[in-house]
Amino acid sequence: MNGKQMALEMSEQPERLRALIARAPQIAQQVRALIPEPFNGVTIVARGSSDHAAVYGRYLIEAATGKPVSLAAPSLHTLYQVPADYRGQLVIAISQSGATPEIVQTLQTLQQAGGRGLGITNEDASPLVQAADATIVLEMGRELAVPATKTVTGQLVAMAIIAGALTAADCGQPGLAGIPDWIQQVLRDPEPAAQVAASLAGSSQLVVAARGYMYAAALETALKIKETCYLVAEGYSVADLRHGPIAAVTSGVPVLALTNPGPSQADVLSLAADLRSREVPVYLVAPTDGADVRLPAGIPEQLAPIAATVCGQQIAHQLALALGHDPDTPKGLNKVTMT
Amino acid sequence: MNGKQMALEMSEQPERLRALIARAPQIAQQVRALIPEPFNGVTIVARGSSDHAAVYGRYLIEAATGKPVSLAAPSLHTLYQVPADYRGQLVIAISQSGATPEIVQTLQTLQQAGGRGLGITNEDASPLVQAADATIVLEMGRELAVPATKTVTGQLVAMAIIAGALTAADCGQPGLAGIPDWIQQVLRDPEPAAQVAASLAGSSQLVVAARGYMYAAALETALKIKETCYLVAEGYSVADLRHGPIAAVTSGVPVLALTNPGPSQADVLSLAADLRSREVPVYLVAPTDGADVRLPAGIPEQLAPIAATVCGQQIAHQLALALGHDPDTPKGLNKVTMT
């Protein structure tokens, strides 16, 4: 039987995240001590799955602070070594292993350029911990399956804690304590994900669409499916999808749409209806009646991407098995990337 | 015969860009007058093809200023209406039509939040011109084919002019005056692109890969192929490709790799060799012997993406024709998007 390790690590998420969330007050203190004065903005440095935590943080932290949040272009600092002036910036570097050289090097460069550096990693004794002014160690336990699962949701929760710490109101991230139970609810019933996976098993391509806060979960779900199932799966903002690629979609590629009640939902549901009227198969991950995979009801919109990411893990895991692949060890992938 | 309009608009690029480049000194003056004091960073607002000009500008402007450059998340300002503090930011909004409501609304919001706003558009009397503190009107002439070509290279050249204006050295963008001739050289010989298109005509999927400055040209080429050929074509940074999706690629999807001499080239050529050793078909766009499509020699690395974008237009145009589609009017696409 394949995929046991990935399933085991997925199942550890509620307990591990509960322990991380219990540390939120200390982490928030650590983050607030790093805020530069004047405080001009935030830059996030990441690659791969960590890049999706960066996209999630990009939305949450800008919503919390009102200040511009940028995703670093590491090649500017590693390959091109451009001069940098990052005074007034909080620089957050995310690396599951803490060992990806370009992430560590970019953080060091931006700290030397005046930025205050915060690392997020799962590895206590990693180069990232050595390099950063301060680090949040996720303590998700060792991850042996190649597709990252619990370290990804750990990163997402860390971003929510950081955003809570940076709000002017200083009231934390409302609803965060509910996350472990919501994820437990998702994990308790893998059947809906298995059914979606069975329907997708004949496709060579897949689009994963969402909008706003949920966009990061669409990117992460697409990557997880790509990694484990050898499909061309792409994550899209619904707004970008309308701008062009919809032509490719309407020629028959199935769409997995993620959404949660909130200002972005009308857009996603209207795209889903539009695609269905063109006979594109659409599978909905949402807390509503008629959804193919039900998200738990009542999750605040800002936190729903964390639960939706777990639904995406379930779909990727089941689809890999349905296609006869071992999701634990996809070919062509390593855990640490040297670039 | 299909695709005539797109071909006509592609052919206008050298002359139109020459006129735009001739205005560089005045544009630079206009840009420098907008720089806030203190100057903390730059935010770029865009969607679709314009988003690729934004990615290009993101690299060039950070290389020129050393300051963080972010790409706005428009939904934060349109759907969620989060509080914003953009004092010290230069905000650049790019829209071919100048009429995409969310781009105009986001620019207005960020100006009200203290940012200095610069519009880039092809439409003189558009809402974007009304809204922005200052605007660069590209004057590329009307674009009737749905896939944007000359307005895209116009946007890319505008970003190069802006980056030149923002360099501390104030010496403009070296080599910019050569762009029209380099593009003319590409356009004079469409045969290599036609041959690559013929080789790609049997594929339902395609990856376009590049690194560093060239990354924006990979994104734009993928979008152009997606729009005109109904293929799932995706642009990737070589670094991101190594982080995961390479598993999907090695199962047989062809790769179009764009590169130019400079610090990023070794990475791209090493990936190409790696993929070829796994029997993945790789097509190279580069100024080197053995390239499938030859870029003109001697283009500075920062400007090579503009010429490579024209190679990508040629490949998209030829591939659409080879597949029996009319590239002028892809189904499911509009010129202005309402989100």
Q: Which residues of B276-295 are buried (b: 16+ CB within 10 A; e: fewer)?
A: eeeebebbbbbbeeebbbbb
Taking CB atoms and an 8 Å limit, are B337 and A243 in contact across chains? yes
The Cα–Cα gap between B106 and B332 comes to 26
Taking CB atoms and an 8 Å limit, are B66 and A89 in contact across chains? no
- Report yes or no: A324 at the B interface, CB cutoff 8 Å: no
Q: Which residue's structure tokens are 């791209």?
A: B268
pLDDT, residue B291, reads 96
DSSP string, B210-273: E-GGGHHHHHHHHHHHHHHH--EEEEEEHHHHHTTTHHHHTTT--EEEE--SSTTHHHHHHHHH
Give me the amino acid identity at B244: G
Taking CB atoms and an 8 Å limit, are A80 and B245 in contact across chains? no
Per-residue pLDDT of A276-294, as tens digits, reads: 998 999 999 999 989 999 9
Residues of A in contact with B249 (CB under 8 A): 332
Residues of B in contact with A80 (CB under 8 A): 63, 212, 263-264
What are the mean pLDDT values of chain B's consecutive 10-residue runs (339 residues total)? 90 98 96 97 92 97 97 96 97 96 97 98 97 98 94 98 87 88 97 97 91 97 91 87 67 90 95 91 95 96 97 97 90 55
* Burial of residue A293, with CB atoms counted within 10 A of its CB: 0-12 exposed, 13-18 middle, 19 or more buried: buried
Taking CB atoms and an 8 Å limit, are A85 and B67 in contact across chains? yes
pLDDT, residue B278, reads 87
Taking CB atoms and an 8 Å limit, are B80 and A263 in contact across chains? yes
Residues of B in contact with A243 (CB under 8 A): 47-48, 337, 339
Q: Which of B149, B159, B158, B128 is nearest to B58 (CA)?
A: B159
Q: Which of A326, A36, A52, A306 is nearest to A183 (CA)?
A: A306
Task: State yes or no: pLDDT of A339 exceeds 70.
Answer: no
- Report yes or no: A51 at the B interface, CB cutoff 8 Å: yes
pLDDT, residue B339, reads 44
Q: Looking at the partner chain, which of B89, B102, B205 has a beta carbon nearest the beta carbon of A232? A: B205
**ipTM over cut 0.90:** yes
Closest residue on chain B to A58 (Cα): B73
Q: Which of B57, B225, B246, B69 is nearest to B155 (CA)?
A: B57
- Report yes or no: B73 at the A interface, CB cutoff 8 Å: yes
DSSP 8-class letter at A137: E
Closest residue on chain B to A90 (Cα): B68
Residue A214 vs residues A5, A57, A105, B31, B56: alpha-carbon distances, Å: 27, 11, 30, 35, 26
| Element holding B147 (H helix, E strand) | none
Q: Looking at the partner chain, which of B230, B240, B253 has a beta carbon nearest the beta carbon of A48? A: B240
CA distance, residue A265 to nearest chain B CA (Å): 10
Residues of B in contact with A47 (CB under 8 A): 239-240, 243
Q: Do A215 and A59 touch, CB atoms closer than 8 A?
A: yes
The Cα–Cα gap between A192 and A171 comes to 36
Q: Which residue's structure tokens are 């935030």?
A: A42
Residues of A in contact with B166 (CB under 8 A): none
CA atoms within 13 Å, Cβ hemisphere of B312: 40
Residue A27 contacts by C-beta under 8 Å, 6 or more apart in sequence? A136, A158, A161, A162, A165
Average pLDDT over residues A214-232: 92
Record the tokens describing residue B247, joined without a space.
């598993």
- Report yes or no: B254 at the A interface, CB cutoff 8 Å: no
Taking CB atoms and an 8 Å limit, are B75 and A242 in contact across chains? no
B297: number of Cβ within 10 Å = 12
The Cα–Cα gap between B58 and B211 comes to 14
Record the tokens describing residue A240, joined without a space.
């970008």
Per-residue pLDDT of A229-262, as tens digits, reads: 988 888 999 988 876 666 666 667 899 999 999 9
Mutation choice for A interface testing from B35, B42, B76, B280 by most A CBs within 10 A: B76
Pairs from B292-298 (Cβ < 8 Å, separation ≥ 24):
B292/B192, B292/B195, B292/B196, B293/B192, B293/B193, B293/B196, B294/B192, B295/B182, B295/B186, B295/B260, B296/B182, B296/B185, B296/B186, B298/B178
Taking CB atoms and an 8 Å limit, are B223 and A242 in contact across chains? no
Q: Which of B141, B138, B128, B142 is nearest to B99 (CA)?
A: B128
CA distance, residue A10 to nearest chain B CA (Å): 19
Interface of A with B in 96-155 (CB under 8 A): 102, 113
Q: Do B247 and B197 touch, CB atoms closer than 8 A?
A: no
Task: State yes or no: pLDDT of A330 exceeds 80.
Answer: no
pLDDT, residue B334, reads 58
Q: Which residue's structure tokens are 């994550």?
A: A235
Q: Which of B14, B10, B12, B8 is nearest to B183 (CA)?
A: B14
Least confident of A80-94, A229-243, A292-306: A229-243
Taking CB atoms and an 8 Å limit, are B331 and A226 in contact across chains? no
- Predicted TM-score (pTM) of the model is 0.95
Q: Looking at the partner chain, which of A66, A237, A251 has a beta carbon nearest the beta carbon of B84? A: A66
Taking CB atoms and an 8 Å limit, are B59 and A76 in contact across chains? yes
Residues of B in contact with A247 (CB under 8 A): 226-227, 230, 330-333
Taking CB atoms and an 8 Å limit, are B239 and A102 in contact across chains? yes
In sign, the C-alpha dihedral spanning B261, B266, B269, B271 is negative
Residue B145 contacts by C-beta under 8 Å, 6 or more apart in sequence? B5, B6, B8, B9, B327, B328, B329
pLDDT, residue B230, reads 82
Record the tokens describing residue B158, joined without a space.
């505008």
Taking CB atoms and an 8 Å limit, are B69 and A66 in contact across chains? no
Average pLDDT over residues A126-153: 96
Taking CB atoms and an 8 Å limit, are A245 and B226 in contact across chains? yes
Mutation choice for A interface testing from B97, B232, B264, B333 by most A CBs within 10 A: B232
Q: Which residues of A116-145 are buried (b: 16+ CB within 10 A; e: fewer)?
A: bbbbbbbbeebbbbebbeebbbbebeebeb
What number of C-beta contacts closer than 8 Å exist between A and B? 192
Task: State yes or no: pLDDT of A34 exceeds 50.
Answer: yes
Q: Which of B161, B155, B160, B99 is nearest to B126 (CA)?
A: B99
Q: Do B122 and B151 touch, CB atoms closer than 8 A?
A: yes
Residue A228 contacts by C-beta under 8 Å, 6 or more apart in sequence? A6, A147, A316, A317, A319, A320, A325, A327, A330
Closest residue on chain A to B203 (Cα): A204
The Cα–Cα gap between A108 and B327 comes to 47
